[in-house]
Amino acid sequence: MSDYGLIGVGAIAEAIVTGLCAGDDAPAVMLSPRNAEVAARLADRFPTVTVAPGNQAVVDAAPVVLLCVRPQIARDVLGALRFRPDHVVISAIAGISVDELRALIAPAEDVARCIPLPAVARRAGITPVHPPQAAAKALFDRLGSAVEVPDLAAYDGFAVATATIAAHFEYLRTIGVWLAGQGIPAEEASRYLAATYADLAATLDSHHDFAHLARDHATVGGINEHFLRTLTEAGVYDEVRTALDSVLARLGAL
C-alpha cells in the first residue's frame, strides 16, 4: 500500500512529489506510468516512490489519489478507473467541477479541487483547496500552507490569478528585449532583470501591501513614477482587469 497515488505525472505532480519526499518524513507514493521519463526520474531519486504498471494499480494501492492529468484527457482517464467508496480524491485538474468529479469517481464521494504551484516543491506553496477537505489540507500544509475555500466563486478567483503568470514573464521579456536594443547583451539583460525581480519578490515575504510598495518605489518626480503614470494613462491596468474578467467568464463557461 501507498500513502498517496498520483494519476498523471507532469510538472505539477513532480513538484508535489518532490516536496513530499525530499525530507526525512517521506510518505509512500505510487505514480502512474504515463509520463515514463518523469516517473522514472522521481522513483530513482526518492526511495519511497514507486511506478505502477497502470492507472488502476495506483487507485488500488492508495487511499488518497491525486489527479494531475490534463483536462483534455481527464474524463477519458477517469472514466476507465474503478474507485472504492472510501477513496479520498484530490484534483488538480482545471475546469472540472466537484459535481462532475464525483460522477466520474463514483462510488467515491470525498473529493476536493486544488491549485498547486511549483513552490510546493520547496514546501513554500500556498494552495487553495475547494471545498475544505482534511486530506488536502494535511497534504498542502505539509507543502507550505493550504487555503481552504468554501466558496466556489472565491476559488475561481484564485484560479484566475494564476492565469497572470505567463503575462508576467512576457512583461519581463519585453523589458529585456528593449534593454538589448540599447546595446546590452541579451543574456546580461535577462540576468539583470531576473536578479532585480527576484530580490523584489523576496521582500514580499514580510510586506504584502502592494499599494504601499508601489508608492514607496514611485518617488515623486522620479522615473518610476513617470513609467507608472504612463502605463496608467494608457489604460494598461484597466486592460489587466478586463483580461481577468475574461478569464473568469471562460472558467464559468467550462
Instruction: Please tell me the predicted confidence (pLDDT) of residue 243.
Output: 97
CATH of the domain at 239: 1.10.3730
Instruction: Please tell me the predicted confidence (pLDDT) of residue 67.
Output: 98
Secondary structure letter of residue 122 according to DSSP: G
What's the average model confidence in pLDDT over 237-249?
Answer: 96
> Is 12 in the same domain as 89?
yes
> Is 54 in the same domain as 136?
yes
Ordered alpha helix ranges (H), the chain:
11-21, 36-45, 55-61, 71-79, 98-105, 134-142, 152-162, 165-181, 186-203, 210-217, 223-233, 236-253
Per the prediction, the chain carries an average pLDDT of 94
Given 120, 149, 178, which residue is the final one in a domain? 149
Instruction: Please tell me the predicted confidence (pLDDT) of residue 23.
Output: 83
Instruction: Please tell me the predicted confidence (pLDDT) of residue 253.
Output: 63
- Which tops the pLDDT comparison, 184 or 212? 184
Query: Does pLDDT of 252 surpass 90?
Result: no
> Is 17 in the same domain as 51?
yes
Contact yes or no for 199/213 (Cβ under 8 A) = no
> Is 224 in the same domain as 140?
no
Domain assignment of residue 154, yes or no: no
> Is 126 in the same domain as 249?
no
CATH of the domain at 53: 3.40.50.720
Predicted confidence band at 195 (pLDDT cuts at 50, 70, 90)?
very high
Domain assignment of residue 107, yes or no: yes
In the chain, what percentage of residues exceed pLDDT 70?
98
Query: Does pLDDT of 92 surpass 90?
Result: yes
Instruction: Please tell me the predicted confidence (pLDDT) of residue 120.
Output: 97
Domain of 245 in residue numbering reads as 165-253
Number of compact structural domains in the chain: 2
Instruction: Please tell me the predicted confidence (pLDDT) of residue 54.
Output: 95
Tell me which long-range contacts 94-97 makes (C-beta under 8 A, separation of at least 24). Answer: 94/159, 95/71, 95/251, 95/254, 96/71, 96/254
Instruction: Please tell me the predicted confidence (pLDDT) of residue 202.
Output: 82
